[in-house]
Amino acid sequence: MSPKTVTDHEILPGSRVLVTGASGLLGRSVARRLVELGYEVTTLQRSSAGVDGAHEVRGSLSDPDVVARAVQGQHAIIHMAAKVSVSGRREDFVEINVRGTERLLEAAWAAGVDNVLHVSSPSVAHGGSSLVGEGAGPADPQHAEGNYAQTKAEAELIAETYGSAGMKVLVIRPHLIWGPGDGQLTHRIVARARSGRLPILGSGAALVDTLYIDNAVDAFVAGLRRLPAIHGQRLVLTNGEPRPIGELLMGIAEAGGAKRPRMRVAPGIAKAAGAAVEKLWAAAGRITQMPGDGEPPMTRFLAEQLSTAHWFDQRRTRAALDWAPSISIDDGLQRLADHVRRTGGVL
């Protein structure tokens, strides 16, 4: 490694960085920012990432040859690729989130890649109860809710094992990323609000942290740069602005051009319904598809996320990354609304 690009304290522009999962909004946005800053970026994903200036490797984490080719010669890896869904076969989550992480880190170790920024989720340490001002507790596959959270918890433990063996591993857990271009949370909220099927559970007063996309990108770039100095840590990443979940849902729906949701459901009823829907969904493959949304209308995990507090102390994260969000929740909502108006309703 050139001392001009990688030091004991920083990974500087000019370094070779692999970004997995760059066909998603966060991965693509981080890869683009790194290119703009002068990093030599390679992306690995199944479909085109569309990142000008980056070298693209097309393929899956299921293919050892593709993975080995992608990691060769890299100074650092930002591992974002994952199967993200509230439903689906467990084996599909295991193949990408667990075995895919194992293949990537095994290949990175063999290729002498020393630095890995592993992207996880706060759900890996969330057993269903409220999280109030928490830090980044240990990943807990046994108590995490749902296939996504359980397999991401397993993947995080694998990454930390490589960290214990000598690889420099930093774990960052972004929480509920949203904003223009987001095909996950933002799209689902707006699509369901437009169809009149976005419920507010209970009073909607449970406080929840979220993360605006531009702030997420800035934080990941900061994490990559400082990784040699701060490896070995787990950091939850949010805007640090807890808001009532009902207020957030209404704000994002309205900014996306939908009417504010008015349907209210008791949390206990939602959890019971979610359990029933999960069984029916698994048996039938899929029930009625929501407009623009292939997910079940409710699951136990969704019911818990929509009815319990989950916000996090950000002091450690901001100190470690030497970073603070530049765009507030209110500014982000305005940016989303402006984007939707400019694009004629396209998120």
Environment class of 320 (CB within 10 Å of its CB; exposed 0-12, middle 13-18, buried 19+): middle
pLDDT score at 267: 80
pLDDT score at 16: 98
Asked whether the beta carbons of 148 and 84 are under 8 A apart, the reply is yes
> In angstroms, how far is CA 269 from the centroid of its own chain?
28
212 in active site:
no
pLDDT score at 86: 75
Environment class of 300 (CB within 10 Å of its CB; exposed 0-12, middle 13-18, buried 19+): buried
pLDDT score at 284: 63
Q: H/E/C letters for each residue in the chain?
A: CCCCCECCCCECCCCEEEEECCCCHHHHHHHHHHHHHCCEEEEEECCCCCCCCCEEEECCCCCHHHHHHHHCCCCEEEECCCCCCCCCCHHHHHHHHHHHHHHHHHHHHHHCCCEEEEECCHHHHCCCCCEEEECCCCCCCCCCCHHHHHHHHHHHHHHHHHHHCCCEEEEEEECCEECCCCCCHHHHHHHHHHCCCCCEECCCCCEECCEEHHHHHHHHHHHHHHHHHHCCCEEEECCCCCEEHHHHHHHHHHHCCCCCCCCEECHHHHHHHHHHHHHHHHHHCCCCCECCECCCCCCHHHHHHHHCCEEECCHHHHHHHCCCCCCCHHHHHHHHHHHHHHCCCCC
pLDDT score at 294: 59
Asked whether the beta carbons of 11 and 225 are under 8 A apart, the reply is yes
pLDDT score at 281: 67
- Candidate CATH numbers 3.30.2130.10, 3.90.1150.10, 3.40.50.720, 3.40.50.10860; the one for domain 16-178+209-240+311-327: 3.40.50.720
Taking the chain (347 residues) in runs of 10, the rounded mean pLDDT of each run is 77 98 96 98 95 97 97 98 87 97 98 98 87 93 92 98 98 97 91 90 93 98 98 98 95 95 84 72 54 63 81 97 98 97 91
Instruction: Take residue 142 and report the two structure tokens written for it.
Output: 């046994």
